[in-house]
Homo-oligomer: A and B are copies of this chain.
């Protein structure tokens, strides 16, 4: 009898030990897996694949409009902004946030009111069927101006994603064609809890490319609206001429800049001098503060919609880096400076344990400028709720600002301490 009990207890104890083994992101092995086995398990369950549809449909009417946009005081740009309304005055850069739940059927009816340019929409990071992927001449024909087009797909994986045009992508994204796609997890406990969230889009552009009558550096100045198709075609034609004349091999005489016929459709040259740096469509001091709850937890979804790497530094706190490209990391890590590249997303969590006004800015000095003048560009502040009234009183457009006071300066708070 004793022996039978002993054997029973032995088996149970080994099994109990195994139950306490390492947690992997995939179904748990009886023992902690080797790195190779861990990778194999993860590959069997890529994020989002096989998600259970919710049975819900979220429909969005997404328009594209021409708009003017003040980037920083005195600097106005002509851009293309998305809107959920056909009223062009509601267009914004970045475009509207589309927020759905993982497993929802997402339906986006797209219509551009900007004459003469084609577009598509790409759902960066989402596992869509390929015919919904938005790549011109590969997965679809581009959508002409004025023509309706509908995208539909089951949202997956969960996390922070974004949508943008994929026709002449660098140019059209610079014009403003991007917005956030936030896919909530089905299980709210999947993400660490937070008290407040903010989405921060990073971007750079050539302000002068987008000014009326002043095309990009390197192209001939042209009069008239650079955004109408006739003007664009004129620049294309001029470029073809230039390409065959400007530089030739000194020995053989053959043109060293070839014609543009390596592909059925190529776009006018786009040579960008990046002199303007944006967070959520504005440059300092016109960036919006990120209001932070005293003693609470702030989640920031950071998206690089530009063409450059950025090195974002937060004063006074370390950030907990929790998600990469929408997916929760098994092993989050602390950082006070976050390096992020074009297309990437990082979610970070910050605990509000140090009340104050804290700079959050690109540590790349070139990018803290408006047209080479500092301060400017990719700079904003985390402002604690307890200091909100002071800072808001000084914000752009306030009487304090009109009186020449620094919009970011505490009225007297920093004299304390």
Contact A20 B30 (CB under 8 A): yes
Query: Does A40 lie at the interface of the complex (its beta carbon under 8 Å from any beta carbon of B)?
Result: yes
- Please tell me if the beta carbons of B223 and A332 are within 8 angstroms of each other in the complex: no
> Are B170 and A374 in contact, with the CB atoms below 8 A?
yes
Interface string of A71-88 (1 = CB under 8 A from B): 011110000000000000
- Given the known A-B contacts A14-B16, A124-B336, A309-B309, are A22 and B25 also in contact in the complex, defined by CB atoms under 8 Å? no
Give A274 Cβ to nearest chain B Cβ, in Å: 10
Residues of B near A22 (CB, < 8 A) are 21-23, 32
A56, CB-defined interface residue at 8 Å: no
User: Given that A139-B414, A417-B131 are known contacts, is A263 also in contact with B320, CB under 8 Å in the complex?
Assistant: no
A107 shortest CB reach to chain B, Å: 13
Chain A contacts with B in 247-287, Cβ cutoff 8 A: 247, 249-252, 256-272, 284-286
**Partner-binding segment picked from A3-11, A60-68, A109-117:** A3-11
Which residues of the partner chain B approach A389 to less than 8 Å between Cβ atoms? none
User: Is A366 in the interface zone, CB < 8 Å from B?
Assistant: yes
Neighbouring B residues of A366 by C-beta, 8 Å: 170, 272, 307
Which of B168, B317, B320 is the one whose CB lies under 8 Å from A374? Answer: B168
CB-CB nearest in chain B for A3: B5
> Is A335 on the interface with B (CB-CB < 8 A)?
yes
Assess whether B316 is in contact with A128, with CB atoms less than 8 Å apart: yes
Inter-subunit contact B409/A138 (CB<8 Å): yes
Contacts of A316 in B (CB 8 A): 127-128, 130, 133
Min CB distance A70 to B, Å, is 10
What is the total number of copies of this protein in its complex? 3
Cβ–Cβ contact A46 & B373, under 8 A: no
Chain B residues with CB under 8 Å of A406's CB are 137-138, 263-265
User: In the complex the two chains form, what is the Cα distance from A23 to B23 in whole Å?
Assistant: 11
Assess whether A301 is interfacial by the CB under 8 Å rule.
no
Taken together as a complex, chains A and B put the C-alpha atoms of A259 and B408 apart, in Å, by 20
Tell yes or no: A89 within 8 A of B by CB: no
Q: Are A408 and B137 in contact (CB under 8 A)?
A: yes
Residue of B nearest to A339 (CB): B341
Q: Which residues of B contact A127 (CB under 8 A)?
A: 316-318, 354
Partner of A313, one of B2, B23, B124: B124
**Least CB distance, A242 to chain B, in whole angstroms:** 11
Q: What 1/0 mask marks residues of chain A from 297 to 321 whose CB sits below 8 Å from any chain B CB?
A: 1000000100111010101111010
Shortest distance in angstroms between A215's beta carbon and chain B's nearest beta carbon? 10
Interface of A is mostly: loop
Across the interface, A9 reaches (CB within 8 A) one of B9, B17, B36, B326, namely B9
- A347-377 at interface with B (beta carbon < 8 Å): 349, 351, 353-359, 363-366, 368-376
Residues of B within 8 A of A25 (CB): 35
Contacts of A12 in B (CB 8 A): 10, 13-14
Instruction: Kindly provide the distance from the CB of A232 to the nearest chain B CB, expressed in whole angstroms.
Output: 14
Find out whether the CB atom of B138 lies under 8 angstroms from the CB atom of A357. Answer: yes
A147 at the interface (CB under 8 A from B): no
What residues of chain B lie closer than 8 Å to A407, measured between beta carbons?
263
Contact A20 B31 (CB under 8 A): yes
A309 → chain B closest CB, angstroms = 6
Does any Cβ of B come within 8 Å of A388's Cβ? no
* Contact assessment for B318 and A40 in the assembled complex, using a CB-CB cutoff below 8 Å: no
- In the complex, the chain B residue whose C-beta lies closest to that of A41 is B192
Q: Does A337 contact B (CB under 8 A)?
A: yes
Residue of B14, B33, B331, B373 near A266 (CB, 8 A) is B373
Query: Nearest 5 A-B pairs (CB), nearest first?
Result: A170-B365, A130-B356, A13-B13, A17-B17, A343-B363
Question: What are 8 of the A-B contact pairs (CB < 8 Å)?
Answer: A128-B316, A131-B416, A174-B365, A214-B249, A264-B404, A264-B405, A307-B364, A311-B344
Additional 8 contacts, C-beta under 8 A, given A18-B20, A129-B356 = A9-B9, A17-B18, A17-B20, A25-B35, A43-B297, A138-B408, A212-B249, A264-B405
